[in-house]
Structure 1
């Protein structure tokens, strides 16, 4: 591969030599050969010369679901990775949301092998418990050695507090990352949306904020007792932010993420009973979404995630009560974040998180492997199905105005553009 990026504005706040400067970038055989104000390369070079081309180190998502194995009709690994690449992501953490779930080293090896020829790096999570049933720990150490970057029963709370304790103690021995979905099943009951004024008006059963906060507080108390490394994915309430802030002040090794849709939508979106807005955790109030945005700006919330979850139309085009939870989010991630935050903050959010999962951080300089995202931060457009590369089209962002668009990636000596 021989590529020349022309007049690319480099967005890399950690790199004072190049940050916000326009440069030509020559990439050969997957390595950054040269960075200069003007380069003239001949010999079969692919030139990328976009009017407002910007480049950063490759974007990273801490929580993506596909379907394969078991739910290939929702999404295959191959098309899912292509979707991630065309959306600007060079690395994704894959949720264990398949059938069967990956609860052994052979399952992790299968996922790694299925992605080894892709431009996008796939980093699988293994389940925390066997079959994600919440009863017995899975083969955590073996899965870690096979390439699992953490352990998580996707969207399934661990009811057994002692199991969380044992998991943290055991994984601590090999620096494993335990993920726990913060939701108390008993408090949540049969709720499907946020409990509040909107759920009462619509006659829908609600899930109170307490359901999340109670479980989250429990896990933080356990972490304080055991030590170890804990990640709390997709928090959704203002109180959760403050609880995590207190835990970090104590020095606990805890991180958390928030789904992009919880930043920009509230439970008021449910008024039309559109099942695209049926999500888990549910969309909360404006007060909660404001607290989540502030938590990101303050650094209390560590990462954003698309929480990309493809669902075929049969699971969404039914009565609201019976519809499945989830939205895709890879294709809309940059355009949404770039309307909420300034460009530097947006790129910072999209490139954070690798160190938490033990993944090498790309470096944008001569002699380094090229792991880059190409984008235009100024394009404005309405997000439609034409922008969706996923096999499933279940997006909460359809019809939303976007600012900024990913143009592709360079990764593993390949170009998606």
Structure 2
């Protein structure tokens, strides 16, 4: 297959064509030529779209699909289509399935079930058996089968010694350990950020301290053991400061932030809409500003949609009893594009996560493998249900003004476009 992208503005700081508008000819999955006015032939698939931009393919490091076990939320087959049309060439899939992805057979199931899809699925294996935080999982076996990291999704490891052993053990095979930043004893039964809004609304609070205590513990353990630690979805100003100090010490730690924690605050909770109930919770304006600054300074390495489809039976209920989670693949770029420049977005959605999770780096150069995200950064719109591709519709961004449309991706020798 030969595909010609016409008049594409390239966003790729590793390419000499960065910020230049060029034609890109792709043959058999590789970039054959980049130039001005490349002639069209009869057998070419030509892509000429309004304000066409391309960047190295985006990689979301925290995506949940339902299958196996919760297919009513999202099947793997449909989930990878959602990811592709949302601009993601790679997704790391969380182990919060039933059964939990905590062994090599489960990892191989995810890979085999999505083999041949345009979006590449990269499993995250559970750090502990059944994600219960009691016994360590078969990390080495899972890595040999294709797992790229190990963590219990939205479930903290409360046993200090277990995390210590995991950090030590993973060094034998250069494994990446994820530790969700939440101290359950402090968080208790909280459902919203502890502060003015939770008090006014009569909602049980989750103190910022619950996150910060856990991060402090994790960093002390990392300093003791060595190894590689990734802290997913931080949400407070103090968390940014703690990780900044750890990096200055030379600790091998990275972190991510969810798109919604960069855009929204707990002021959103006044309508008691369960779509706004997420983990970690929406925090304050001060926290939001610190997170954005953390991204711009490089303290926060990557941004994730933290896409988590929840079926209507568990979401369209009273706020306090609703399951936490929001879908986010479809709205990720449009939301980020309202607060960050394109270079920062591409760095946090492509370059940095690929480096940390040991996924092949790509660049828009002749002779390189074509793994591209295709988008228009200038189209503004209100995000509505009509724009949701996911089976579940629990989007935190419904009704919000977004900017930027993803046209789709070119990856694995396939062009997938968002209609």
Instruction: Give the structure-2-normalised TM-score.
Output: 0.98
The CA distance in 2 between the partners of 1:212 and 1:64, in whole Å, is 21
The CA distance in 2 between the partners of 1:356 and 1:283, in whole Å, is 26
Q: For residues 115-144 of structure 1, what are the alpha-carbon distances to aligned partners after superposition, in whole Å with 9 as ceiling and x for unaligned? A: 111001111000001111111100000001
The CA distance in 1 between the partners of 2:178 and 2:50, in whole Å, is 42
Q: Find the counterpart in structure 1 of residue 306 from structure 2.
A: 307
What is the CA distance between 1:97 and its match in structure 2?
1.2
Q: Counterpart of 1:173 in 2: which secondary structure?
A: helix
Q: Find the counterpart in structure 2 of residue 391 from structure 1.
A: 391
The CA distance in 1 between the partners of 2:11 and 2:188, in whole Å, is 46
Trace 1:145-184 onto structure 2 (pairs within 5 A).
145-184=144-183
The CA distance in 2 between the partners of 1:378 and 1:358, in whole Å, is 32
The CA distance in 2 between the partners of 1:246 and 1:39, in whole Å, is 50
Q: For residues 157-180 of structure 1, what are the alpha-carbon distances to aligned partners after superposition, in whole Å with 9 as ceiling and x for unaligned? A: 111000000000000111100101
The CA distance in 2 between the partners of 1:33 and 1:222, in whole Å, is 48
The CA distance in 2 between the partners of 1:271 and 1:125, in whole Å, is 35
Trace 1:18-57 onto structure 2 (pairs within 5 A).
18-57=17-56
Q: Report which stretch shifted further, 37-46 or 125-134.
A: 37-46
Cα-Cα RMSD: 0.8
Does the aligned pair in 1 maintain the 2:94–2:123 contact within 8 Å? yes
Q: Counterpart of 2:251 in 1: which secondary structure?
A: coil
Does the aligned pair in 1 maintain the 2:117–2:412 contact within 8 Å? yes
Q: Find the counterpart in structure 1 of residue 375 from structure 2.
A: 375
What is the CA distance between 1:13 and its match in structure 2?
1.5
Trace 1:48-197 onto structure 2 (pairs within 5 A).
48-197=47-196
What is the CA distance between 1:20 and its match in structure 2?
1.1
What is the CA distance between 1:41 and its match in structure 2?
2.5
Q: For residues 321-345 of structure 1, what are the alpha-carbon distances to aligned partners after superposition, in whole Å with 9 as ceiling and x for unaligned? A: 1101000010001111110012222
The CA distance in 2 between the partners of 1:257 and 1:250, in whole Å, is 19
Q: Counterpart of 2:153 in 1: which secondary structure?
A: coil
Does 2:317 match 1:318?
A: yes
Does 2:215 match 1:216?
A: yes
The CA distance in 2 between the partners of 1:141 and 1:350, in whole Å, is 27
Moved over 3 A (4+): none
What is the CA distance between 1:346 and its match in structure 2?
2.0
Q: Find the counterpart in structure 2 of residue 343 from structure 1.
A: 342
Does the aligned pair in 1 maintain the 2:14–2:363 contact within 8 Å? no
Q: Counterpart of 1:90 in 2: which secondary structure?
A: strand
Q: For residues 97-128 of structure 1, what are the alpha-carbon distances to aligned partners after superposition, in whole Å with 9 as ceiling and x for unaligned? A: 10001111111111111111100111100000
What is the CA distance between 1:320 and its match in structure 2?
0.7
Long gaps (5+) in structure 1: none
Q: Counterpart of 1:231 in 2: which secondary structure?
A: strand
Q: Find the counterpart in structure 2 of residue 230 from structure 1.
A: 229
Q: Counterpart of 2:150 in 1: which secondary structure?
A: coil
Does 2:411 match 1:408?
A: no
The CA distance in 1 between the partners of 2:340 and 2:248, in whole Å, is 26
What is the CA distance between 1:348 and its match in structure 2?
2.2
- Give aligned pairs, total: 416
Q: Counterpart of 1:34 in 2: which secondary structure?
A: strand
The CA distance in 2 between the partners of 1:200 and 1:161, in whole Å, is 32
What is the CA distance between 1:313 and its match in structure 2?
1.1
The CA distance in 2 between the partners of 1:34 and 1:268, in whole Å, is 50
What is the CA distance between 1:2 and its match in structure 2?
1.5
What is the CA distance between 1:266 and its match in structure 2?
0.6
